[in-house]
Amino acid sequence: MTAVDINAVKTEADQLFLRKKLIGFALPTVVFAYLVYIFFAFDISGIAGRANWDNAVTLASDSWSHKVHVTRDNRSGEITYAVEGERKGTYPEGQRPDWVSGDEVITIDLGGDHVVRYLPGNRTEIELPGFQLIEVRAEGRQLTSNLPAELPDWISASNRRIGITTPEGRITLTGARTEVFNYFSGWELFWFTLDSPYHGQGFVNILLGDRIDPERANIKGAVSDWWNNAMWRHKDVAWAIGETILMAFLGTMGAAIAALPLAFLAARRFSPIMIIRAATRRIFDFVRGVDALIWTVVLARAFGPGPLTGALAILITDTGTFGKTFSEALENVDQKQIEGVSSTGAKPLQRYRFGVIPQVVPVLLAQILYFLESNTRSATIIGAITGGGIGLMLTQAIQTQKDWEEVAYYIVLIIVMVMFMDWFSGWLRGKLIGRKG
Amino acid sequence: MKCPVARRAAGILLSRGDMTVISLNSTRTSVDGIQSSYMAQVQRRRLYGGLTLLIFVVLMVSGFNIADDRNAGGFWEGLHQIGDYPADVLTEAWEKRADLPGLIVKYFPALIETINIAAVSTLIGAVGGLFLSLLGTRGLAKWPRLIPVFRRLCDIMRAVPEIVIALVLIFVLGGGPVPAMIAIAIHTAGALGKMFSEVTENADLKPVEGLASTGARWSQRMLIGVLPQVAPNYISYTLLRFEINIRASAILGFVGAGGLGYELRNAMAWGPGRFDEAAAIFALLFGTIVLFDQVSSRYRNRLTEGKGQ
């Protein structure tokens, strides 16, 4: 090699290095510049101002705790005890939580020396450690209290409404009603609502103990009361999860069935006519490009909200995706196997059945099963849009903005459902085509 | 259907020919035996196949019926109405076709927002997935004891549908692109983490060992030893994810996370009279998805087939 050659190679190498160096610096710079642009375009600095941290606190604490309301109607003097203040969670007549005592004077022990007393004549006494005894009287729509003019920030007071927030619970007083919220951890009434005879019974007691409800056998009654629990709606939740999985199943399998014959039309090897091939491919591109969102919107107009609409939206979109991948799999089929089968005098249909299908089935099944899992997630999202399945229950629970324990419950269920489908499709794949790699 | 079976049996006989030579005296009986056991096997497989097919058909039909029952409108009543809505939208859009370019310009910023959400979340998700995969792969992990933790984390992040995180974050942070961005980024990190770790598991460990012998830190070993090996596949998966995320960000807009989906929901809520706006948004969304699909699939082919640099 001559010196000239070496020099040429050297400059070439130098240029290559320079280019690589430039790319090495330019790429991070571009990414950084883009992120700076996004920082301003999305107004990230303003997010702290717009964020509602009270919401975050409510969400975080409510998702794993519940509160019991003790409410005195100041007009009738009637006192109600209800979990989360809901009618479904109201204590039946004659029952009340054990931290409430007294008949004339109702004493509510919030714990930690925080005590609230409902006195006759719509008077209320609130005893808090390290603070004076608060006395409030409600008359008509007015409140008169002995609160000092200077108030700590955990008390808000006017002559119409007084709110006191303590670590042990919250107290709100208005002319019409006096309410105490006592907070507890855990999901209350998850198993049985208060009107069920099985509430408060231990698991062992229900399983092995004496008959609790004379009408029904223990296990049967307990299961039925749990299943029809009005607070947590286990039956509806189970149906919703079933609907979501059904959407994913119908959509995926329907798409696979529809896509298989179309894929033959789109594969060069099996479809000699160029126009048909191109047309089928454009159809695949079109249905994929329109996307599940638009299909959902369009189909919901025709079929109304529900699982069928979601299933059809998944079906149509995935027909495009499957068609594309199936036809690619068909293009890559090994010709030898087909020749072998045709050498035995097999007719075209038999050539497909014994020469082509066994080759592509593992690829197709892997694809279908992967999509089954991914579509469970899509079905949750589509359900939230079109109204069906667990996605709808989740959006409803979030929109009411108070049932955060239900939101947490649904989120856990959704994650478990998707992970189960992931495991299940992997298991099925292992059974059907053997583990790969 | 009988012929191929017989032929298959014949094939088996041919391949077993050597054996039959050895025990010539029992040829007749052994051939019969093989044939009958083969036929029995075929029968059994057919039975299983038939049963599986039957179960599948029953599942499909009953599933369809349940879905049909629980739907607000029935399938057969709705079937002939499928075309109504697109036809309404298209006719109205056609009548007002002069406005369409203006509307497309009007909604272009929303489109940019949708693409930005997808791009940023893909970027963040890819970095997250990179770390998850490196920390969750045997032989590469910085803390080998924590491998199962990172794998589970990856599984959980992947299992959470974007909408769950988005809805919760919208409640806390208010509407806008940021909740969608975070939600998609989390899911992307999980999904890419899994795909990446499948690639990383097949990476050659020799460069890593070589670097370790020179005293390179973990970050250096990963950056110089592993990343160059896996980069083409990583980028290819990331591009694929970008395609998926554009769709996801459009959908999340529909539940209030800004971008084109949000505009689409508003346009839909107005109903007839504003269908031209819906048509413009449909067109933008469709065009974007198709465009990015084509571009990304071209680059992915180049990356995985090793054409170009």
pLDDT tens for each residue of B21-76: 445 556 667 888 899 999 999 999 899 889 989 999 999 999 999 888 888 878 88
For chain A, domain boundaries: 7-46, 67-185, 234-433
| Calpha distance A381→A403 (Å, rounded) | 20
- Helix ranges restricted to H, A168-306: 203-208, 218-227, 234-266, 274-303
Does A366 contact chain B (CB < 8 Å)? no
A51/B173 touch (CB, cutoff 8 Å), yes or no: yes
Question: Based on the domain organization, do B124 and B32 belong to the same domain?
Answer: no
| Cα dihedral sign, B56-B59-B63-B65 | positive
Give me the residues of A, 341-360, that contact B with CB < 8 A: 341, 344, 346, 350, 354
Residue range B216-257, pLDDT digits in tens: 888 888 888 888 888 888 999 999 999 999 999 988 888 877
Residue range A188-215: average pLDDT? 72
Are residues B209 and B224 in contact, defined by beta-carbon separation less than 8 angstroms? no
Question: Which residue among A42, A297, A415 places its CB closest to the CB of B159?
Answer: A415
Residue partners of B7: CB distance under 8 A and separation at least 6: A344
Tokens of A352: 């497909």
pLDDT band at A435 (very low <50, low <70, confident <90, very high): low
Question: Which residue among A38, A395, A422 places its CB closest to the CB of B116?
Answer: A38
A293/B174 touch (CB, cutoff 8 Å), yes or no: no
Question: Which residue among B116, B171, B174 places its CB closest to the CB of A50?
Answer: B174
Question: Which residue among A38, A391, A395 places its CB closest to the CB of B120?
Answer: A38
Question: Which residue among B60, B73, B172 places its CB closest to the CB of A59?
Answer: B172
Q: In angstroms, how far is CA A291 from the centroid of its own chain?
A: 22
Residue partners of A351: CB distance under 8 A and separation at least 6: A338, A341, A342
| Calpha distance B158→A426 (Å, rounded) | 15
Question: Based on the domain organization, do B14 and B158 belong to the same domain?
Answer: no
Following DSSP, what letter does each residue of A61-129 receive, concatenated?
A: HHTTEEEEEEEEETTT--EEEEETT-GGGBPPTT---TTEE-SSSEEEEEETTEEEEEETTTEEEEE-T
| Calpha distance A310→A380 (Å, rounded) | 9
Question: Which residue among B4, B120, B254 places its CB closest to the CB of A346?
Answer: B4
Residue range A148-176: average pLDDT? 82
- The b/e string for A229-260 (b: 16+ C-beta within 10 A; e otherwise) is bebbbeeebebbbbbbbbbbbbbbbbbbebbb
What is the number of domains present in chain B?
2
Residue range B194-209, pLDDT digits in tens: 999 988 888 888 998 9
Residue A69: CB atoms within 10 A of its CB come to 18
Are residues B39 and B6 in contact, defined by beta-carbon separation less than 8 angstroms? no
Query: Which is more confidently placed, A203 or A119?
Result: A119
Residue B180: pLDDT above 70? yes
Does A281 contact chain B (CB < 8 Å)? no
Q: Does B162 fall in a domain?
A: yes
Question: Based on the domain organization, do B100 and B218 belong to the same domain?
Answer: yes
Residue partners of A398: CB distance under 8 A and separation at least 6: A407, B167, B168, B171
B163/A289 touch (CB, cutoff 8 Å), yes or no: no
Instruction: Output the CA torsion A314→A317→A323→A328 (10° steps).
Output: -110
Which residue in chain B is spatially nearest to A293 when comparing CA positions?
B251
Residue range B251-286, pLDDT digits in tens: 888 887 788 888 888 888 777 777 888 888 888 989
Residue A197: pLDDT above 50? yes
Tokens of A312: 């059809």
Chain B residues closer than 8 Å to A380 by CB: 161, 163-164
A302/B171 touch (CB, cutoff 8 Å), yes or no: no
Question: Which residue among B120, B161, B174 places its CB closest to the CB of A52?
Answer: B174
Does A34 contact chain B (CB < 8 Å)? yes
Q: How far is CA A288 from CA A246, A307, B262, in A?
A: 21, 20, 21
Residue partners of A107: CB distance under 8 A and separation at least 6: A100, A101, A115, A116, A117
Tokens of B209: 């060992």
**For helices B227-252 and B177-201, angle between their N-to-C axes, nearest 10 degrees:** 150
Coil, strand, or helix at residue A137?
strand
Does A51 contact chain B (CB < 8 Å)? yes
Strand order across the beta sheet in which A155-157 lies: A79-83, A65-73, A177-185, A169-174, A161-166, A155-157
Question: Based on the domain organization, do B290 and B237 belong to the same domain?
Answer: yes
Total length of chain B? 309
pLDDT band at A244 (very low <50, low <70, confident <90, very high): very high
Q: Residue B203 gets which letter from DSSP?
A: S
Residue range A328-359, pLDDT digits in tens: 888 888 888 888 888 998 888 888 888 888 88
pLDDT for B9: 45
Residue range A355-374: average pLDDT? 88
Does A419 contact chain B (CB < 8 Å)? yes
B63/A246 touch (CB, cutoff 8 Å), yes or no: yes
pLDDT for B97: 82
B71/A388 touch (CB, cutoff 8 Å), yes or no: yes
Total length of chain A? 437
Question: Which residue among B63, B72, B290 places its CB closest to the CB of A249?
Answer: B63
Q: Which of A424, A391, A41, A82 is nearest to B160 (CA)?
A: A391
Based on the number of CB atoms within 10 Å of its own CB, is A310 exposed (0-12), middle (13-18) or buried (19 or more)?
buried
| Calpha distance A289→A281 (Å, rounded) | 12
A285/B293 touch (CB, cutoff 8 Å), yes or no: yes
Based on the number of CB atoms within 10 Å of its own CB, is A269 exposed (0-12), middle (13-18) or buried (19 or more)?
middle
Question: Which residue among A41, A311, A354 places its CB closest to the CB of B4?
Answer: A354
| Calpha distance B7→A347 (Å, rounded) | 13
Residue B309: pLDDT above 70? no
Instruction: Tell me the backbone φ, ψ of residue A263, rounded to 5 degrees.
Output: -65, -35
Chain A residues closer than 8 Å to B290 by CB: 285, 289
* Strands A106-111 vs A100-101: parallel, antiparallel or unpaired: antiparallel
Tokens of A41: 């375009």
Question: Based on the domain organization, do B246 and B298 belong to the same domain?
Answer: yes
Q: Which of B15, B14, B211, B244 is nearest to B119 (CA)?
A: B244
Which residue in chain B is spatially nearest to A401 when comparing CA positions?
B171
B161/A52 touch (CB, cutoff 8 Å), yes or no: no
pLDDT for B213: 92
Question: Based on the domain organization, do B55 and B97 belong to the same domain?
Answer: no
Residue B131: pLDDT above 80? yes
Q: Does B81 fall in a domain?
A: no
Question: Based on the domain organization, do B238 and B276 belong to the same domain?
Answer: yes
Mean pLDDT of chain A: 84
What percent helix, strand, coil does chain A show, rounded to 5? 60, 15, 25
Does A29 contact chain B (CB < 8 Å)? no
The domain that contains B132 carries what CATH number? 1.10.3720.10
Long-range contacts from A161-170, C-beta under 8 angstroms, 24+ separation: A162/A136, A164/A126, A164/A128, A164/A134, A166/A110, A166/A114, A166/A128, A167/A112, A168/A110, A168/A111, A168/A112, A168/A114, A169/A67, A169/A110, A169/A114, A170/A67
Residue range A6-31, pLDDT digits in tens: 888 999 999 999 998 898 889 889 99
Give me the residues of A, 228-257, that contact B with CB < 8 A: 243, 246-247, 249-250, 253-254
Residue A39 CA neighbour count, 13 Å, CB half: 7
| Calpha distance B192→B196 (Å, rounded) | 6
pLDDT for B23: 53
Coil, strand, or helix at residue A141?
coil
Chain A residues closer than 8 Å to B255 by CB: 384-385, 395
Give ∠ CA A31-A34-A37 in degrees, rounded to 5: 155
Q: Does B77 fall in a domain?
A: no
A51/B174 touch (CB, cutoff 8 Å), yes or no: yes
- CA of B117 vs chain A CAs: smallest distance (Å): 9
Strand partners, A138: A143
pLDDT for B4: 47
Percent of chain A scored above 70 by pLDDT? 97
Question: Based on the domain organization, do B175 and B233 belong to the same domain?
Answer: yes
Lowest mean pLDDT among A117-121, B38-42, B157-161: A117-121
Residue A129: pLDDT above 70? yes
Coil, strand, or helix at residue B297?
helix
| Calpha distance A72→A138 (Å, rounded) | 11
- CA of A398 vs chain B CAs: smallest distance (Å): 7
Q: Does B75 fall in a domain?
A: no
Question: Based on the domain organization, do B31 and B96 belong to the same domain?
Answer: no
Question: Based on the domain organization, do B149 and B245 belong to the same domain?
Answer: yes
| Calpha distance B120→B203 (Å, rounded) | 27
Quote the domain boundaries for residue B22: 2-70
Tokens of A135: 């006395």
Following DSSP, what letter does each residue of A234-271 receive, concatenated?
A: HHHHHHHHHHHHHHHHHHHHHHHHHHHHHHHHHSTTT-
Based on the number of CB atoms within 10 Å of its own CB, is A44 exposed (0-12), middle (13-18) or buried (19 or more)?
middle
Residue range B157-169: average pLDDT? 88
Instruction: Give the H or E element holding residue A148.
Output: none
Percent of chain B scored above 70 by pLDDT? 89
Interface test mutation site (partner A, options B42, B123, B124, B167, max chain A beta carbons within 10 A)? B167
- CA of B25 vs chain A CAs: smallest distance (Å): 30
Chain B residues closer than 8 Å to A247 by CB: 67
> Chain A to chain B, count of Cβ pairs less than 8 Å apart?
186
Residue range B70-119, pLDDT digits in tens: 888 788 888 888 888 888 888 888 888 888 888 888 889 999 999 999 99
pLDDT for B26: 60
Mean pLDDT of chain B: 84
pLDDT for B27: 66
A291/B250 touch (CB, cutoff 8 Å), yes or no: yes
Residue range A277-301, pLDDT digits in tens: 899 989 998 998 888 888 888 888 8
What's the CATH code, domain A234-433? 1.10.3720.10
